[in-house]
């Protein structure tokens, strides 16, 4: 807005990716597999009442289902709801982080995160998926699990064998479809046949337990280069816009 060059997606890309309902609609129309979902404003939940809402959501999704804020990240306000009795509490917790709740079909499978970077060199021109990071936890991959070392086991590259190309291709399509640039991360559940797109992150974390740096380190190792060279590649690609 003030003309200062920066690395990352433009405002429109950020808006599309950060709104789960909007992103899900766009990606679904592009042919990607997304969980069935519905957004419920806090005012509607209050006006309709708990019991009618329980009936509607239970009939549409069954249990378990997933409740998460329509916007936001880091696993805040996210709950896997196992039964109707747990739904009111999950909705209240969700509304603490925003005015809209994103209710989603629960997908069982292998949870992976795929980082994508834009590359513009003599070998590649466009989004390039880095090695997928597989996330193994004994519960929900929530805020505590993300930012407290030892709560989660990671496999980098993910144990996908021949399916890695399918998952990486899906993340590249997400990046292109939403008009993202420079770098992104797509969270996916792979059920053995289909990569289901869960969330898209245009500002992935860079802490010691974050997923993006793990993917960069794995990619650098595969190419026999350094981590610094990968981050420099992102900067050089972004600098070409100046």
Residue 74 lies in a domain: yes
End residue of a domain, out of 55, 87, 105: 105
CATH for 16: 3.30.470.20
Looking at the structure, do residues 235 and 118 belong to the same domain, yes or no?
A: yes
Looking at the structure, do residues 136 and 193 belong to the same domain, yes or no?
A: yes
End residue of a domain, out of 53, 87, 105: 105
Given this model, what pLDDT does residue 148 score? 57
Q: How many domains does the chain have?
A: 2
Asked whether the beta carbons of 233 and 117 are under 8 A apart, the reply is yes
Distance of CA 7 to the CA centre of its chain: 19
Looking at the structure, do residues 78 and 153 belong to the same domain, yes or no?
A: no
Tokens matching residue 167: 């998952």
Given this model, what pLDDT does residue 64 score? 92
Looking at the structure, do residues 85 and 23 belong to the same domain, yes or no?
A: no
By C-alpha distance, which of 211, 201, 107, 108 is closest to 156? 211
pTM (2 decimals)? 0.88
Looking at the structure, do residues 213 and 226 belong to the same domain, yes or no?
A: yes
Span 130-153, pLDDT tens digits: 999 998 877 655 555 554 556 678
End residue of a domain, out of 105, 122, 156: 105
Given this model, what pLDDT does residue 152 score? 79
Looking at the structure, do residues 122 and 210 belong to the same domain, yes or no?
A: yes
Instruction: Report residues of the chain scoring pLDDT below 70.
Output: 1, 73-74, 121-124, 139-151
Looking at the structure, do residues 138 and 178 belong to the same domain, yes or no?
A: yes
Q: Would the CA dihedral through 63, 142, 19, 9 be positive or negative?
A: negative
Tokens matching residue 118: 């834009």
Given this model, what pLDDT does residue 73 score? 66
Looking at the structure, do residues 128 and 15 belong to the same domain, yes or no?
A: yes
**Domain membership of residue 24 as a residue range:** 11-34+108-239
By C-alpha distance, which of 154, 190, 150, 153 is closest to 169? 190
Alpha carbon distance 176, 232 (integer Å): 21
């Amino acid at each position: 807005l003030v003309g200062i060059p920066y690395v990352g997606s433009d405002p429109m890309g950020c808006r599309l990716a950060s709104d789960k309902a909007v992103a899900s609609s766009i990606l679904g129309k592009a042919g990607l597999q997304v969980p069935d979902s519905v957004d419920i404003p806090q005012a509607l939940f209050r006006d309709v009442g708990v019991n009618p809402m329980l009936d509607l959501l239970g009939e549409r999704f069954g249990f378990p289902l997933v409740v998460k804020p329509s916007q936001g990240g880091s696993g805040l306000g996210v709950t896997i709801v196992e039964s109707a009795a747990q739904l009111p509490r999950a909705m209240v917790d969700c509304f603490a982080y925003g005015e809209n709740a994103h209710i989603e079909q629960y997908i069982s499978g292998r949870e992976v995160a795929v980082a994508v970077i834009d590359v513009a060199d003599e070998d590649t021109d466009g989004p390039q998926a880095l090695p997928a990071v597989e996330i193994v936890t004994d519960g929900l991959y929530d805020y505590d699990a993300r930012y407290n070392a030892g709560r989660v086991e990671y496999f980098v590259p993910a144990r996908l064998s021949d399916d890695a190309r399918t998952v990486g291709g899906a993340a590249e399509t997400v990046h292109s479809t939403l008009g993202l640039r420079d770098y992104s991360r797509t969270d996916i559940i792979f059920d053995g046949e289909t990569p289901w797109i869960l969330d898209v992150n245009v500002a992935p974390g860079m802490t010691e337990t974050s997923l993006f740096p793990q993917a960069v380190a794995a990619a650098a190792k595969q190419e026999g280069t350094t981590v610094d060279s990968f981050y420099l590649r992102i900067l050089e690609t972004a600098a070409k816009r100046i």
